[in-house]
Chains A and B, each alone.
Chain A
Amino acid sequence: MKQKKKQDKSAADRIFYITTMFCAFLVLVIMCGFFVQLFIHSFPAIKKFGFTFLVSGEWDPVRNIYGAASAIYGTAITTIIAMAIAVPLSFLIALFLVEMAHPVLSRIIGQAIELLAAIPSIIYGMWGLFVFVPFMQNYVGPFLADTLKLKWLPLFQGPCTGFGLLTAGIVLAFMVLPFISAVMRDVFKMVPPVLKESAYGCGATTWEVTFDVTMKYGMQGLLGAVFLGLGRAVGETMAVLFIIGNTPRISASLFESGTTISATLANNFAESSGVFQSVLLELGLVLLAITFLIQIAAQFWLNMVRRKFGGNI
């Protein structure tokens, strides 16, 4: 009797163990599932267009010829603009929160910026469409083109309608800013005080301590933070969809409308069928591959930092 009870117990434990293991391995299964499903369903497009799909800028629904270049170009440009704005800003915000602000103020502002990360992306999109697009059209565009006299640059050619690559890039920047600055703040906080204090003791200024000590010590963490933000910026859909203009073309001017991979998907997918749907799924596969690599890089660096500091980031 006793023996049987013991067996029951171990059998229940065995079932428990197997169930939990199954759930944990589900992570890997779903991850692989993404690639497998998208690959299978984009196969007709891959067979039809081959490698030229990635480099061709043609997008002709009438003749059923598609190329991903315009969407990839738009994704790249908006991401570059977003990162160029968000990375220095988040670095400075993290610096302010850790090195300068009074602890109470630092907590309040830190919380506020974390809440910025919680706002759904569609709200950014709506705000962009109804508030920021007119703002760009009336103030920022004319300011860049006329007041700063940058019209001669190919980057700022043509009229600024408010919709386009530049606006999308800026809104994206504010979307990823809280993610980057939160991780950067944690990295700054984890640098051992002894290191900083010895530098201060030698007479270094706050900036010198940050630049020469904190930054070098936490470099991997900062890189991880940047890549985390990069991954978000590349794949963001709703914040971009309303304001990019959704025209599949490549133009040098940042005032012109364009499209991104995710915006193309969101715009066309629900009504698509046949080869066109397969083309869109291949675009999805491209986006998946890009973000997957970016996330692996981010997690690789963050893991290194976690090992070094032994903490949670």
Chain B
Amino acid sequence: MKSRSLILRKTSDKVVKAVSILAAFFGVFFLAWIMFTVLKFGFKSFSLSFLIEPTKPYGVADGGIANALLGTLLITFGASALGVPLGLLGGVYLSEFAKNSKKGNIIRFSANVMMGIPSIIVGLFVYTLLVYTTKSFSGFAGSVALAIIMFPIVVRTTDDMLSMVPNSLRESALALGSSRWRTTLSIVFRAAKSGLITGVLLSVARVSGETAPLLFTALWSDSWPTSYFTQPTANLTVTITEYATNSPFEQMHIKAWGAALLVTLVVLMLNIACRIIFMEAKHARK
């Protein structure tokens, strides 16, 4: 190894340290900048009427986002109803029946890959599957798209969480004569409860801010979401897109910021809730 002068080595070390401290604060500063902007503009439009009145037609300034809020709730709920049970069961297969098998590893690998597929592609896929064939955009198609995004996340977290449950629990249940499905659903699931809740909440948080897949499926509307299965359905994120880009009116920009604040707060709350649940479970186990 070639020798370098001590001063040079020490200075380069100091420089790297200083730069990395700067980098870390830069990251935090960035979070603060975005949050500050969203809060500053968002709170301007926050009021009760903003939350309980529906959107008005293009160009009419006052109006709320209640229909979009309801639509987003419907779409997200529909997505969870589809994605969560399927994901949980898929995760059960990986952890209970295919722990170290080749099949299991291939599925695990594909689920990881699937998590990284851009959400806009999922939107296109669901468009060709549901919108193209039925010739109409619908909130349900939006739910299916979000469910496809949730699915691999729930599969992988379920797999991870169930794998952490000690085998002795399974063995005791089986030794008492309970069947495999009983053991899994009432013993293993219960032991991994907080982990499973975390996984589900995280996946809900992930999709509740999604926009791109909804552009091609649920589309957008300015009426109440009355026909979720057959008509374009109002939702928050596409409303934000419409208001922020397709409108020259300051008033509508402010509405968009209000909706953005709502979405951001919900997503961050869900994330923080996950962290707290998971931490508490960890402490309880210790």
A121 to B93, CA, bound (A): 32
Partner of B117, one of A10, A127, A269, A295: A295
Contact A119 B117 (CB under 8 A): no
Number of A-B contacts (CB under 8 A): 260
Chain A interface residue count, Cβ-Cβ cutoff 8 angstroms: 91
With A235-B118, A236-B118 in contact, do A89 and B271 touch (Cβ < 8 Å)?
Answer: no
Smallest Cβ-Cβ distance to B116: which chain A residue: A295
With A23-B86, A206-B16, A295-B112 in contact, do A118 and B124 touch (Cβ < 8 Å)?
Answer: no
Contact with B along A103-137 (1 / 0, CB 8 A): 00000010111111011111111110111000000
Contact B19 A116 (CB under 8 A): no
In the complex, what residues of A have CB within 8 A of residue B41's CB? 130
Does A226 touch B at the CB level, under 8 Å? no
Contact A26 B264 (CB under 8 A): no
Contact A265 B181 (CB under 8 A): no
In the complex, what residues of A have CB within 8 A of residue B60's CB? none
Contact A93 B27 (CB under 8 A): yes
- Which residues 173-217 of A have a CB within 8 angstroms of B? 174, 177-178, 181, 205-208, 210
Does B281 touch A at the CB level, under 8 Å? no
Contact with B along A270-297 (1 / 0, CB 8 A): 1000000000010010011001101110
Contact B31 A115 (CB under 8 A): yes
A240 to B184, CA, bound (A): 44
In the complex, what residues of A have CB within 8 A of residue B74's CB? none
Contact with B along A8-39 (1 / 0, CB 8 A): 01101101110111111111101101100110
> Which of the candidate stretches B5-13, B63-71, B187-195, B223-231 sits at the interface with the other chain?
B5-13
> Which of the candidate stretches A50-58, A61-69, A94-102, A149-157 sits at the interface with the other chain?
A94-102
Partner of A123, one of B129, B184, B263: B263
Majority DSSP secondary structure for residues of B touching A: helix
A312 to B112, CA, bound (A): 13
Does B125 touch A at the CB level, under 8 Å? yes
Shortest Cβ distance from A23 into chain B, in angstroms? 4
With A23-B90, A266-B120 in contact, do A207 and B17 touch (Cβ < 8 Å)?
Answer: yes
In the complex, what residues of B have CB within 8 A of residue A119's CB? 31, 34, 209, 264, 267-268
Contact B241 A238 (CB under 8 A): yes
With A28-B110, A118-B205, A205-B13 in contact, do A232 and B37 touch (Cβ < 8 Å)?
Answer: no
A11 to B177, CA, bound (A): 15
In the complex, what residues of B have CB within 8 A of residue A299's CB? 109, 112-113, 116
Partner of A177, one of B27, B89, B92: B27
In the complex, what residues of A have CB within 8 A of residue B169's CB? none
Partner of B118, one of A13, A15, A113, A291: A291
Contact A265 B271 (CB under 8 A): no
Partner of A262, one of B111, B151, B212: B212
Shortest Cβ distance from B160 into chain A, in angstroms? 7
Partner of B27, one of A116, A207, A208, A270: A116
Shortest Cβ distance from B2 into chain A, in angstroms? 13
Contact A26 B151 (CB under 8 A): yes
Contact A30 B148 (CB under 8 A): yes
- Which residues 134-192 of B have a CB within 8 angstroms of A? 137, 148, 151-152, 155, 160, 179-181, 184
In the complex, what residues of B have CB within 8 A of residue A130's CB? 37, 41, 244, 253
Contact A296 B148 (CB under 8 A): no
In the complex, what residues of B have CB within 8 A of residue A25's CB? 107
Contact A109 B109 (CB under 8 A): no
Contact A262 B244 (CB under 8 A): no
Does B211 touch A at the CB level, under 8 Å? yes
Does A259 touch B at the CB level, under 8 Å? no
Contact B114 A287 (CB under 8 A): no
Does B28 touch A at the CB level, under 8 Å? yes
In the complex, what residues of B have CB within 8 A of residue A100's CB? 17, 20-21
Contact A292 B264 (CB under 8 A): no
A294 to B260, CA, bound (A): 31
With A13-B180, A24-B93, A24-B107 in contact, do A116 and B128 touch (Cβ < 8 Å)?
Answer: no
Contact A208 B117 (CB under 8 A): no
Smallest Cβ-Cβ distance to B181: which chain A residue: A16
Shortest Cβ distance from B86 into chain A, in angstroms? 5
Give the B-binding residues of A (Cβ under 8 A): 9-10, 12-13, 15-17, 19-28, 30-31, 33-34, 37-38, 40-41, 89, 92-93, 95-97, 100-101, 109, 111-116, 118-127, 129-131, 174, 177-178, 181, 205-208, 210, 228, 231-232, 234-238, 241-242, 262, 265-266, 269-270, 281, 284, 287-288, 291-292, 294-296, 298-299, 302-303, 312
Extra A-B contacts (15), CB below 8 Å, given A123-B38, A270-B137? A9-B179, A23-B89, A26-B151, A27-B155, A97-B24, A115-B31, A115-B268, A206-B13, A235-B120, A235-B121, A242-B244, A262-B118, A266-B212, A298-B116, A299-B109
A-B contact pairs, 24 of them (CB 8 A): A20-B97, A23-B87, A25-B107, A26-B86, A27-B90, A27-B155, A30-B151, A34-B122, A111-B275, A116-B30, A118-B271, A119-B34, A119-B264, A122-B237, A126-B244, A127-B34, A129-B244, A206-B17, A262-B118, A269-B215, A288-B117, A288-B121, A291-B116, A298-B116
Nearest 7 A-B pairs (CB), nearest first?
A120-B209, A235-B118, A16-B181, A20-B93, A92-B23, A205-B13, A23-B90
